[in-house]
Amino acid sequence: MKLPVIKHLIEFIEQNDVDFVLETIETLEALTEVPSLKDEELDVIGELISNMYGAVEVDKLIKQGTSKKEALNGFMQRVLGAIDK
């Protein structure tokens, strides 16, 4: 996951709606079923999907009253903590 990408997606959600991101996730997930995709292409799609899910999670935290900075930092700490395990 890349924090700058998640930040950009959060701005997109603020200006538009989280439903756009959720629908894009569904579309990308459907694309992963194309049998002719190469591993590198699947990796890119997977990275995009994970960044989008991250942005959706951060958006939920922000809507619950957490500041944007705290929501982003807390999310990334959870991700890094999960990687360390």
If you ran DSSP here, which 8-state letter would residue 35 be given?
Answer: T
User: Predicted confidence band at 9 (pLDDT cuts at 50, 70, 90)?
Assistant: very high
**Cα–Cα distances in angstroms (integers) from residue 55 to residues 23, 35, 63, 72, 77, in the given order:** 13, 28, 12, 9, 14
- pLDDT tens readout for residues 36-80: 999 999 999 999 999 999 999 999 999 999 999 999 999 888 887
Verdict on whether the full-model pTM lies above 0.75: yes
